[in-house]
């Protein structure tokens, strides 16, 4: 089964979806494409997310982990208590229960492949207490959007 790239980070017969099905969380300018759905032998889903310039994903944590490959452009990411510059072909493992957020550059999109288990818990959003703790680190305080 070949899912052809049709140019500009879209694929044949793969719809470009809203980032989240529920619009209750805080994010900006993110799209989602499901490239490969889970099968019994590999109960994982491969998705491609693209954050437009100036946009950001939700600041969240969860039990499930992510395997991420930066696929397009560059930006920054909060991973494991630090803000990192990330660029094409960097690979990221996001451990359980760690706050994470992706932000595209001001002039660059940030597109990434993201693998998750099909059976996974729902993300948790930060409480005001969580945000207070996160903001004790000034580089994180400057970075996060919530």
Q: In this chain, which stretch among 51-59, 93-101, 129-137, 138-146 interacts with a second copy, using CB under 8 A? A: 93-101
For 27, the token pair is 């994010």
Based on the shown chain and the rule CB under 8 A, indicate whether residue 16 belongs to the binding site for a second copy: no
Question: Is 46 within 8 Å of 8 (Cβ atoms)?
Answer: no
Stretch that binds a second copy, among 52-60, 73-81, 123-131, 133-141 (CB under 8 A): 73-81
Backbone angle region of 13, left / alpha / beta, with phi > 0 → left and psi within -120 to 50 → alpha:
left
Q: Is the dihedral of CA 32, 35, 36, 37 positive or negative?
A: positive
Q: Which stretch binds a second copy (CB under 8 A): 15-23, 50-58, 72-80, 134-142?
A: 72-80
- The residues, any chain, with a CB within 8 Å of residue 49's CB and separated by 6 or more, are 19, 30, 31, 32, 33, 57, 102, 111, 112, 114
Q: Is 13 in the site for a second copy (CB under 8 A)?
A: no
Among this protein's residues, is 44 annotated catalytic? no
Catalytic residue among 79, 104, 114, 116: 114
Question: Tokens in use for 131?
Answer: 């945000």
Residues that bind a second copy (CB under 8 A): 1-5, 9, 11, 35-36, 39, 41-42, 44, 46, 63-65, 67, 69, 71, 77, 79-80, 84, 86-96, 113, 115-117
Q: Which residues are catalytic?
A: 114
């Amino acid at each position: 089964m070949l899912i052809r790239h049709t140019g500009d980070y879209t694929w044949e017969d793969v719809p470009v979806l809203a980032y989240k099905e529920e619009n209750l969380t805080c994010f900006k300018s993110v799209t989602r494409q499901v490239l490969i759905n889970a099968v019994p032998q590999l109960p994982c889903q491969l998705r491609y997310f693209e954050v437009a310039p100036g946009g950001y994903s939700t600041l969240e944590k969860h039990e499930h982990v992510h395997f991420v490959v930066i696929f397009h452009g560059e930006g920054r990411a909060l991973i494991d208590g630090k803000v990192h510059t990330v660029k094409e072909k960097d690979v990221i493992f996001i451990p359980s229960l760690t706050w994470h957020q992706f932000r595209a550059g001001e002039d660059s999109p940030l597109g990434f492949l993201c693998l998750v288990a099909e059976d996974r818990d729902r993300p948790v959003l930060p409480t005001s207490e969580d945000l207070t703790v996160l903001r004790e680190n000034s580089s994180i305080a400057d970075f996060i959007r919530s």
